[in-house]
Structure formats: C-alpha cells, structure tokens
Structure 1
Amino acid sequence: MTIISSPLGEAESKLAGEALQGTLVELIDISLVAKQYHWNLVGPRFRSLHLQLDEIVAISRAHADTVAERSVAVGVNPDGRAQTVASVHGPGTGAAGWVADKAVVQGMVRILRASGGRLRERISALSEADPVSQDVLIAVARDLDKQAWMFEAQAADAG
C-alpha cells in the first residue's frame, strides 16, 4: 500500500530510500552508543567528554528525525525500530561497564570516521538520483566529521 507518493521515479526513490534508511540506522546506533559511553565514562576528562557525548546524542537524534522525514517525503517508510538497528549493526559497537576516557575517545573516533566513510558512499550514490536527499546526508556528514575531529583532537599528542 502506498499512501505517500514520491516526487522521484521508482529507481531514484528506491536508491534514496536505501541511503536514507542506512543513515537513519547509523544515527540511532551512534546516539545509543554515545549514551552508553556517557553513562559509564570514567577518567580525568570525564566532564568534558560527558558533555560532548550529550552533544553527539542531540545531533544524532535531530539528524535522525530529518533523515526519517525525508524518507517519508520520497515515499519510503523509515524503520528505526530497535530490532532493525540491532540487526544491521549488531552488538559490540559500544562497551559494557566502566569505560576509560581514552577508550571513549578512541571508540567515538572509530565509530564517527567509519560512519563518515559510509555516508560519503551514500552521498556519492545520490548525486544524480536525488540531490535533495544528498543535501540532507551532506549535513549529517558535516556534523559527524566535526564531532570526530573534536574527539580526535583530545587524543592527539601535541608534544
């Protein structure tokens, strides 16, 4: 049953829907991992990282909403259910128990850089099919790249 029509052709709508769905799942996963780290973080950089993790959660949730709404606008149902996120990313993207600040920084850099790489592939795939959805993903990539840089700067040895 199709309730919302797409402004795109069938092939373009399918491509955009897949790119948006992949991004939606990643954003939900990032927000969950960041909250897990946020609750279990220990170490000398606790306060600054605790606050930065909340920023990641807020950014991820805001972009997830935009991505899901764009998906609906192109006639594709978004799926942000826990079972969908778990089936795509599976367990192990965060840590259970106390996590040292250094491990949090390394984990977030790894997660954000990997996500950025997948986002760039989706952005490239949408250049012809749907520049509007591409623009949504570019905004996500910009914010995640900025957060990755900020985490990475905390791990740098300037000496």
Structure 2
Amino acid sequence: MATTATHHDKHVSHPVFVGDETFAGHLQQVLVDLTDLHLQGKQAHWNIVGANFRDLHLQLDEIVDAARDFADDVAERMRAVYVVPDGSSARVAAQSSLPAFPTGEVDTGEAIDKIVASIYAVCATARRVHDEVDAADPTTADMLHEILTRLEQLAWLTDAERRQPGTAVPKPINA
C-alpha cells in the first residue's frame, strides 16, 4: 500500500540552529516573566494614586511597552529557532518568577517599589539563563543583553523617584 505524502513530508528546510529543550526552557521563562511584567505594569498604571501620579502613570507606559515589545521579540526568536512559545495566561500565572503585584488602588511610592522589584526579577531571570543561552546561541544572548540594558535603565529611572541623595541604597529584589 502506497503512503500519501502530506504537506509536512514536503518540508525540507534544514535550519543551522534549532533550540534544544534547555534552551527552550530558558527562553520560555524569560517570555513568561516579560509577559507578567507587562501585565503588572498595566495593573499599576490603572490603579496608582498619590504623589507624582501623572509622571509614574506615563513611566509605567514605557515599562509596559518595553516588556511587551521584548516579549514579542523573545517569542519570535523562539519560533525562528524552531521552539514553540507559550504566552498563555495559565502558563504565565503558573510559571512567573516575579513577586505578585497588589490588587486595588496602590500608592505611587509602593507601586514604584513593587514594579522595580518586578523589573529586577526579569533581569535576574535573563542573567541566570544568559551563559547557557550564550553557549548554545550567541545571537540569542545578544537579545538578552538588549533586554537587560533597557530594563535595568527603566528600573533605575523609576527607582530614582524614591531615592534620597547620598543616603538611599537600592532595596533587594525580595525585600
């Protein structure tokens, strides 16, 4: 009996690099954390109240845009190296390594502390997986560099609102 060729049988491309399970897991974690940062930023954006509301409201838009754009970049990179991303709400809720963001109204000062902690949590994930990603694919590691550069800048810009010249020390991520 002859077998009928399917569309899949005709796929003959041979990519130079295909991400393995470890590589995929690392990028999946970065994707989840970036997606959660995007969601937390919107939660904060909608619910902050207090001093410097407008400035923080606009700053949160920058954070949300960066997180969303980077999540898209990571997911598309995953597809480019034959890895299937999962940005579903169930996956994000189950796998995020970010500290939870409060519900309801949040004072601007508390929101700054919480969102900066979440930005640094994403950075911690990117730094934790960096060396193994770099060993497998330096091109993807370059993407992690870009993410770290921008997110650490946004953390600094946001956290500066709470700093006191010469006296403040950055708080640990899990304070």
Give 1:59-78 correspondences, 5 Å limit.
59-78=66-85
The answer to whether the Cα contact below 8 Å between 2:33 and 2:98 also exists between their aligned partners in 1 is no
Give 1:38-117 correspondences, 5 Å limit.
38-89=45-96, 93-117=100-124
Between the two proteins, what is the percent identity of the paired residues?
35
1:65 partner amino acid? D
Output the aligned Cα RMSD.
2.2
User: C-alpha distance in 2, partners of 1:15/1:90?
Assistant: 17
**Kindly tell me: are residues 15 and 133 of structure 1, through their superposed partners in 2, closer, same or farther at Cα, counting changes over 3 Å?**
farther
The answer to whether the Cα contact below 8 Å between 2:99 and 2:117 also exists between their aligned partners in 1 is no
Structure whose residues are more often helix by fraction:
1
TM-score w.r.t. length of structure 1: 0.90
**Kindly tell me: are residues 91 and 108 of structure 1, through their superposed partners in 2, closer, same or farther at Cα, counting changes over 3 Å?**
closer
User: C-alpha distance in 2, partners of 1:121/1:25?
Assistant: 14
The structure with the largest alpha-carbon Rg is 2
Flag as ranges the 4+ runs of structure 1 deviating above 3 A.
3-6
Greater relative contact order, per chain length (Cα 8 Å cut-off, separation 6+): 1
1:126 partner amino acid? V
Match of 1:138 in 2: 145
Pairs aligned (count): 157
- State the 1:14 CA deviation: 2.6
Give 1:18-33 correspondences, 5 Å limit.
18-33=25-40
**Kindly tell me: are residues 125 and 82 of structure 1, through their superposed partners in 2, closer, same or farther at Cα, counting changes over 3 Å?**
same
User: C-alpha distance in 2, partners of 1:91/1:137?
Assistant: 17
The answer to whether the Cα contact below 8 Å between 2:33 and 2:97 also exists between their aligned partners in 1 is no
Q: Which runs of 5+ in 1 are unaligned?
A: none
- State the 1:44 CA deviation: 1.2
2:148 partner amino acid? A
1:93 partner amino acid? A
TM-score w.r.t. length of structure 2: 0.82
1:144 partner amino acid? L
**Kindly tell me: are residues 96 and 125 of structure 1, through their superposed partners in 2, closer, same or farther at Cα, counting changes over 3 Å?**
same
